Structure 1
Amino acid sequence: MKNCFPWLSCEMIQNEVAVMELIGQGAVKQVFLANWRGNKVTLSRLAASEFSDDFFHGLEMLKGLQSSYVVQLLGYCEEDPTILTEYHPLGSLANVNSVLEQEEHSDFNTWEVRFHLALEYVRFLHYLHHSPLGTRVMCDSNDLTKTLSQYLLTTDLHVIANDLDALPLVNRSAGVLIKCGTRQLHGDFVAPEQLWPFGDKLPFSDDLMPPYDEKTDIWKVPDVTDFLLGQVEGSDVVRLHLFHLHQGCKRNKPQLRPSMLNVVQTYKAVYDSLIQESELIGIHSETLREL
């Protein structure tokens, strides 16, 4: 927002915010486009009372993690479960290909822009693993589409986290690990330690399912980055430079995977190196044209 205001109260939300249309629906909340003092905003309402714990967990995470990595909280009401956040018209990060392929954004459909989006994604995960609220894990990430839907693409082409309803706490010093829900998970996208370890020998039981830690987020990084890089000129060069790091992210044993700090540092080093190389090539080409 252009100006600073205190978070809006229940009374202010009820009196000053006008709901315009439904723009999203999930198990936990309904999401509406709304208007506040001439500004488009996003209003989220609890969809079903049985998910109130998830809704209020998401609110506490939004309040505690406010930063450049997270969507801006504008107000909330606990009595009539409502959350007001800044509106971003491009929607979720899942839309990145359709957005960048539009003619008005075609100049930005480059490996540089796409790689920078991936860099912002891993920076958020590093922030999450070292947050003011402790080591948090992005649990709403059982497939690529679901993972991408947890983030927004801003109009100036940045990545911010938006859906924080499932961020359980890892506390190694207290021996606290996590599990992402109580249902059996399947597929190659989730980390191996999130899969039922007993095969067909035993029927799935949440009580017998071993817990895990934040390294599940690291397993998923190569798949998300591969999607964000797309199929533009230069994207395969980026993939080549990240190959060994991504191999490490996909190690079956979580303790052998790199930390998010290692991931961020490598991404930043590769990004800076490739940008510098690209600029040198551009200068060389310009010199040849002048000759």
Structure 2
Amino acid sequence: MAKCHPLLTCEDIEQFKFSEEIGHMGYVKEVWHSYWQKFPVVVKKLRTFDLAGEIAGPGYLQGINLMKNFYKPSVLLQLVGHCNDTIVTEVHRLLDARDLEIRFKEYPLYNTLQTRMQLCVSYVDILRTLHSGHDGKIYVQCDAKNLQKLAGQFLFTEDFRLVLSDVDSMETILVNGTNRKLIKCTDWGEVKGYFPAPEELWPYKGGYDASKLPLYDEKIEIWKIPDMCWYFLGDDVSTLQLKRSLNDINNQCKNRNPRKRPTAEQVYETYLTIYQDIIKK
């Protein structure tokens, strides 16, 4: 955005007229459609009048800085402007990945193995970028208690790829050579079930205490890759052979020992090879 026009300022944003409320994204933000010089945009404003907004405030402001300064902006929702707790972004009219099957019904020509595997590749491509440590930081998405919650963090582009739209709940692992400052995702309480990585679960007897939860790293996201990819591939019988070809790398992702899981880069390379094989066939 900044290469073709300066980011919009408070003065620019004050002139916006809100045409349609999209809804509350996680009950933290008010989200509206609007226009800037006839270009459709989305306007998001932090809900500061309730507890959820107050809790999310620091992460929300941190997310704005990430969108402004991230070294590879193509994987993130494009920032158009911001003013205090209001941000303006590009529009993706296919909305988020929770509506996957609805979108394929609306656009049946895209409902192919190639497009579905493309989504798996796109998802892991975003992870490998966030995990690259390019600026001495590894970014981990903490707002991922279950599959639907995580899917809601990503928007579809018009050619059925993904962009990460919600960066309010990113934790940062600082990397200094081989030294790392590890993290734990505790803002929204205890996580349970099969979807979170084993190291995210409360490991002790007795009541949950966030302060005593052990630390972990970005490998919690590697654990979730197979579930997300299976979601993108769907349940049709035509995906069975493709899923069998993914079993080896996906089983590695599900290793209960995080140190034995592959990196996002390694998963990406394997997924990309399988995707390219689909195209050749």
TM-score with structure 2 setting the length: 0.91
Aligned with 2:63 (options 58, 61, 66): 58
Describe how 1:118-157 pairs up with structure 2 within 5 A: 118-133=120-135, 134-157=137-160
With over 3 angstroms needed to count, the CA separation of the structure-2 counterparts of 1:38 and 1:233, relative to structure 1, is farther
User: How far does residue 245 in structure 1 lie from its aligned partner after superposition?
Assistant: 0.6
Moved more, 21-30 or 122-131: 21-30
Aligned with 2:113 (options 95, 111, 114): 111
Q: Following the alignment from structure 2 to structure 1, what is the Cα–Cα distance between the partners of residues 243 and 175?
A: 33
Query: Share of identical aligned residues, percent?
Result: 32
1:245 aligns with: 249
Describe how 1:1-291 pairs up with structure 2 within 5 A: 4-15=4-15, 17-25=16-24, 26-48=26-48, 50=54, 51-65=56-70, 67-78=73-84, 81-102=85-106, 105-133=107-135, 134-173=137-176, 174-182=179-187, 183-198=189-204, 201-232=205-236, 234-276=238-280, 278=281
User: How far does residue 172 in structure 1 lie from its aligned partner after superposition?
Assistant: 4.9
Moved more, 228-237 or 39-48: 228-237
Secondary structure (helix, strand or coil) at the match of 1:207 reads helix
Counterpart code for 1:184: E
Structure 1: which 5+ residue stretches go unaligned? 279-291
Q: Following the alignment from structure 1 to structure 2, what is the Cα–Cα distance between the partners of residues 210 and 8?
A: 42
Contact 2:67–2:73, Cα closer than 8 Å, also in 1: no
User: How far does residue 94 in structure 1 lie from its aligned partner after superposition?
Assistant: 1.2
Output one character per residue of 1:237-290: Cα deviation in whole Å (capped at 9) or x when no partner. Answer: 2111100111010111100101111100000111112322x2xxxxxxxxxxxx
Q: Which has the larger radius of gyration?
A: 1
Q: Following the alignment from structure 1 to structure 2, what is the Cα–Cα distance between the partners of residues 190 and 275?
A: 32
Contact 1:18–1:36, Cα closer than 8 Å, also in 2: no
Q: Following the alignment from structure 1 to structure 2, what is the Cα–Cα distance between the partners of residues 268 and 135?
A: 22
User: How far does residue 106 in structure 1 lie from its aligned partner after superposition?
Assistant: 1.0
Q: How many residues align?
A: 269
Counterpart code for 1:272: Q
Secondary structure (helix, strand or coil) at the match of 2:170 reads coil
With over 3 angstroms needed to count, the CA separation of the structure-2 counterparts of 1:99 and 1:55, relative to structure 1, is same
Counterpart code for 1:22: E
Contact 2:59–2:170, Cα closer than 8 Å, also in 1: no
With over 3 angstroms needed to count, the CA separation of the structure-2 counterparts of 1:175 and 1:122, relative to structure 1, is closer
Displaced runs of 4+ in structure 1, greater than 2 A? 171-175, 231-234
Contact 1:109–1:232, Cα closer than 8 Å, also in 2: no
Contact 1:41–1:85, Cα closer than 8 Å, also in 2: yes
Counterpart code for 2:27: A
Q: Following the alignment from structure 2 to structure 1, what is the Cα–Cα distance between the partners of residues 75 and 103?
A: 21
Aligned Cα root-mean-square deviation (Å): 1.6
Q: Following the alignment from structure 1 to structure 2, what is the Cα–Cα distance between the partners of residues 40 and 172?
A: 39
Counterpart code for 1:120: S
Structure 2: which 5+ residue stretches go unaligned? none
Secondary structure (helix, strand or coil) at the match of 1:160 reads strand
User: How far does residue 234 in structure 1 lie from its aligned partner after superposition?
Assistant: 3.4
1:287 aligns with: none
With over 3 angstroms needed to count, the CA separation of the structure-2 counterparts of 1:118 and 1:191, relative to structure 1, is same
